[in-house]
Amino acid sequence: MDIHEYQAKEVLSNFGVATPSGALAYSPEQAAYRARELGGDKWIVKAQVHAGGRGKAGGVKLCNSENEIHEACDEMFGRKLVTHQTGPEGKGIYRVYVESAVPIDREIYLGFVLDRSSQRVMIVASSEGGMEIEEISAERPDSIVRSIVEPAVGLQEFQAREVAFNLGLEARLVQQMVRTLQGCYAAFSDLDATMVEINPLVITGDDRVLALDAKMSFDDNALFRHPQISELRDKSQEDPRESRAADRGLSYVGLDGNIGCIVNGAGLAMATMDTIKLAGGEPANFLDIGGGASPERVAKAFRLVLSDKNVQAVLVNIFAGINRCDWVAEGVVQALRELEIDIPVIVRLAGTNVEEGQKILAQSGLPIIRATTLMEAAERAVGAWQNDLSQNTKVRAV
């Protein structure tokens, strides 16, 4: 789960990370009022969307008066901000963050991520801030500083100082940098984050170390431990299909293909997507219905997959252990009888109660395409899709 910049700054400030003064606004009039409250003569107005590259897309404006703030917000509110991370559909702007401008002497990139190779939290920093980390890595790889944190002891002060010195910070700024690093790590570990990024972390003209921007992502599976973080979720910034799936306890990721997938188990779901690609097709989604796939849960999964108008065939691939194939078969039949479906449905069952499951499908009277292996199922799904929904593979259920 991602959160907005202003939310990330509030979270990090609670862990001792310094940020510029700012306030949230939901209208141009409120934004101008927020600027008066903050004081000063220069402000930054930032569109609050879950995407990077806002500045290049017109989502960040420097304003020198309340009138300029009003005009900038008037252009932002209600429109879609399109960046390299949002795709052509963009993300809607419904709130802005008004922040006091600060004199910047230097910009630094700072990130905390999970490093799979070391199975540790890694600090990634660069003396060349203000750019995307991909650009920094490609153009100035020598500027990148990496440091692995040992989870048994956490981020120690000597390690944070080492990072600060490797970034070329003057001695008078090192202690502020140490507090920033330790605050970010504490927020990361205490709140089950998967990413903390400050880009840029700036050194101001009056020798302050401030987080000028901030991003945080959290492990969805750990949100039950942090209701204060779960409450920060903004569904308007998410794929509506993924929001509906999360609300129904399903693991779903929307893709751009045409073959919908309903699978139990993340590993099997990935293998199913790969096999569809191998057979010449394109998966429309990742969907893991989990270990307790009741008929009702399978029916919910069908509704979710079919909410994607690009789906032209559905492949159900179940390897039953905790699950039971007869439950899944009942769910498939229930879904086809309740929903009006005019696309091919391919079902491959294996494991617990597979004979009973196959019997339910065969006796349903519905033209469900059955397969015994994953490769066969993928080939039949791709074949049905490529045959432009020929009459002998259509499924129509009322």
Residues marked as catalytic: 109, 197
242-246-249 Cα angle (round to 5): 135
Residue count of the chain = 398
**Strand ranges in 30-143 using DSSP code E only, listed in sequence order:** 43-47, 60-63, 80-81, 91-92, 96-100, 104-115, 120-126
- 349/374 Cα distance (integer angstroms): 9
Q: Which residues of 338-374 are buried (b: 16+ CB within 10 A; e: fewer)?
A: eeebebbbbbbbebbbbeebbebbeebebebbbbeeb
Residue 392: Cβ-neighbour burial (10 angstroms; 0-12, 13-18, 19+):
exposed
Among the listed residues 398, 345, 389, the one whose alpha carbon sits nearest the alpha carbon of residue 367: 345
Decide if 313 contacts 337 (C-beta within 8 A): no
Is 213 annotated among the ligand-binding residues? yes
Among the listed residues 360, 308, 309, the one whose alpha carbon sits nearest the alpha carbon of residue 336: 360
Q: What contacts 77, CB < 8 A, 6 or more positions away?
A: 27, 28, 93, 94, 96
Say how many C-beta atoms besides its own lie within 10 A of residue 4's C-beta: 22
Is 102 annotated among the ligand-binding residues? yes
Instruction: Say if strands 345-351 and 313-320 run parallel, antiparallel, or are unpaired.
Output: parallel
Is 34 annotated among the ligand-binding residues? no
Is 54 annotated among the ligand-binding residues? yes
Is 99 annotated among the ligand-binding residues? yes
Q: Which residues of 94-112 are buried (b: 16+ CB within 10 A; e: fewer)?
A: ebbbbbbbbeeebbbbbbb
Q: Which residues of 141-160 are buried (b: 16+ CB within 10 A; e: fewer)?
A: eebbbebebeeeeebeeebb
Q: Could you report how far apart the first and last alpha carbons of the chain are, in Å?
A: 37
Is 264 annotated among the ligand-binding residues? yes
Say how many C-beta atoms besides its own lie within 10 A of residue 205's C-beta: 11
Is 53 annotated among the ligand-binding residues? yes
Is 376 annotated among the ligand-binding residues? no
Is 383 annotated among the ligand-binding residues? no
Is 328 annotated among the ligand-binding residues? no
- 265/357 Cα distance (integer angstroms): 18
- 171/108 Cα distance (integer angstroms): 16
Among the listed residues 118, 117, 43, the one whose alpha carbon sits nearest the alpha carbon of residue 73: 43
247 three-class SS: helix
Binding residues for ATP: 46, 53-55, 99, 102, 107
Binding residues for Mg(2+): 199, 213
Binding residues: 46, 53-55, 99, 102, 107, 199, 213, 264
